[in-house]
Amino acid sequence: MWNDLHKHFAKVKDRRFEAMVDADRAAAFSVQAGDMRLDYAKTNIDETGRELLLQLLDGSGVAAKRAAMFAGAPINETEGRAVLHTALRNLDGGPVLVDGQDVMPGVLDTLARMESFAADVREGRFTGQGGKITDVVNIGIGGSDLGPAMAVKALAPYHDGPRCHFVSNVDPADIAGVLRQCDPATTLVIVASKTFTTIETMTNARTAQAWMGQSVTDTGAQFVALSTAADKTADFGIDPSRVFGFADWVGGRYSLWGPIGLSLMIAIGPQAFRAFLRGAQAMDMHFKSASWLENMPAMLALVGIWHNQVCGYTTRAVLPYDNLLVRLPAYLQQLEMESNGKGVSMDGADLAEQSGPVVWGEPGTNGQHAFYQLIHQGTRVVPCEFLVAARGHEDDLHHQHQLLVANCLAQSEALMRGRTLDEARAKVADKFEGAELERQARHRVFKGNRPSVTIAYPQLTPEVLGQIIALYEHRVFVEGVVLGINSFDQWGVELGKELATALQPVVEGKKSAEGKDGSTAALVGFLQKHGVS
């Protein structure tokens, strides 16, 4: 099937797909899920290419693997675990079994505990030693930071709780900058580490503990742990009532729906958090029941496979024309690249096709004055994914929002249409002539024929944000199954962490750099000379 796809692309790669995009194609090459619309008409996928992609989907066993995931089977085969982040938002979907045990009572009990604690913080029943909590500092890294930091920013219009801050980098500038804004007596610190051993997180947690100890007598009283290591959280001084655990069938980058989302729940309230969960649950139900052609995660995945594995476009730009989604590209970068950045298939053999793409992006219209130059006129094709809301949250500035939407739609149109040399000549014919006219015109040519998809929705609400995140989670799942890889482990992060642990005493000057390669040893020497040790 891969060969058929590559052969088909070879036949159509030079055609102008702009001519294909009429009203019929706009209807046939779009998908609706609730009030959300995915338009992939501005791509070079035609009916033949789509049919070949659908055959690839069926031949890869996506339907069976999807059923196994929702049923609690251990589809994370390298770690022998189920993959059940969907259970965290299964508010009324019935039992979910893992090894014959229904996990939903535990999930719902933890959610209820989170809601009770969040309400106590928001309403002033849980206080710091200086009164009502005014600030929440979430300390985590990876999924324990990117998810809640992204969501708290995205749902800023719904904030009516304490201010939320996020610390992830072990660089001391990160935590120092955050703590400088807070009062220890009215600050709640959330430490997010499943094992309570993550070196960056625990280093920052101890720094926060020392900071708090300068002003309050009982530092543990204002700490919360999102962890399953009850012995370690107790040693840290955190009462069991403020420890919220989650099972090993929830991966870090998929964990926002449970205890890792506590900072979001405190910011927007339990009711809005449940709406967020229900939005994701709605996308789960759509993914489970819709036919492939009408299945938004599946079709978004197939578009990604067409562009990356078939066309050879190795990068993907995520461009939200919604400034509330400023952290979404970074969140999706981890989701995609940690999940599908693999080199071997489930059986350990080298992949026959390329794995996941490089994912990056920035909100519009900022990006238009930065990297869009390369997207429009550079030598590499960069498929783009636009996200846009029909309405913002600033009703008195709706005209300005209309300008934002116009910019979004114009960019996807410009990528498709481009500008011919004749059109470029006409634009500058009144200023130049002869050879100079030709030279100037060529600088204004846009090749066009550059693909994009657009995801449109009425307004960024908690429900819609839940839909968007779940959409991309299932997209990554489908891509991983088609490629034959495990999207739910991340062994690629281990080696650097192991080497860092070994290097720390060398950097500190407690051990010799003997045995290190020449480059590393020389760099250690340079940094020690300038004060690192």
**Cα–Cα separations (whole angstroms), residue 387 to 56, 184, 229, 320, 353:** 27, 39, 39, 4, 28
* Annotated catalytic residue within 7, 11, 398, 497: 497
Q: How far apart are the first and last CA of the chain?
A: 57
43 within 8 A of 307, measured Cβ to Cβ? yes
Q: Which of 66, 57, 60, 65 is nearest to 286 (CA)?
A: 66
**Phi, psi at residue 167, to the nearest 5°?**
-125, 130
Q: Which amino acid is at 137?
A: V
126 within 8 A of 133, measured Cβ to Cβ? yes
- The reply to whether 510 belongs to the active site is no
357 within 8 A of 304, measured Cβ to Cβ? yes
Pair of tokens at residue 201: 């997180």
- The reply to whether 497 belongs to the active site is yes
DSSP 76: B
Strand order in the sheet with 452-457: 30-33, 36-39, 452-457, 384-389, 315-321, 358-361
Residue with tokens 């085969």: 77
- The reply to whether 427 belongs to the active site is no
* Annotated catalytic residue within 369, 399, 431, 510: 369
In degrees, rounded to 5, the angle at the alpha carbon of residue 118 between the alpha carbons of residues 114 and 119 is 120
Alpha-carbon distance of 527 to 426, in angstroms, equals 58
316 within 8 A of 308, measured Cβ to Cβ? yes
What residue spans of 124-223 are helical by DSSP H? 143-154, 172-179, 199-213
Q: Which amino acid is at 279?
A: G
Alpha-carbon distance of 233 to 506, in angstroms, equals 30
Q: Where are any strands of DSSP class E within 41-120?
A: 97-98, 101-102
Pair of tokens at residue 150: 């992204």
Angle (deg, nearest 10), helices 421-428 and 434-442: 120
Alpha-carbon distance of 401 to 389, in angstroms, equals 9
52 within 8 A of 4, measured Cβ to Cβ? yes
* Annotated catalytic residue within 336, 338, 463, 473: 338
Q: Is 354 helix (H, G, I), strand (E, B) or coil?
A: coil
- Strands 163-167 and 452-457 come out as unpaired
Residues with catalytic function: 338, 369, 497
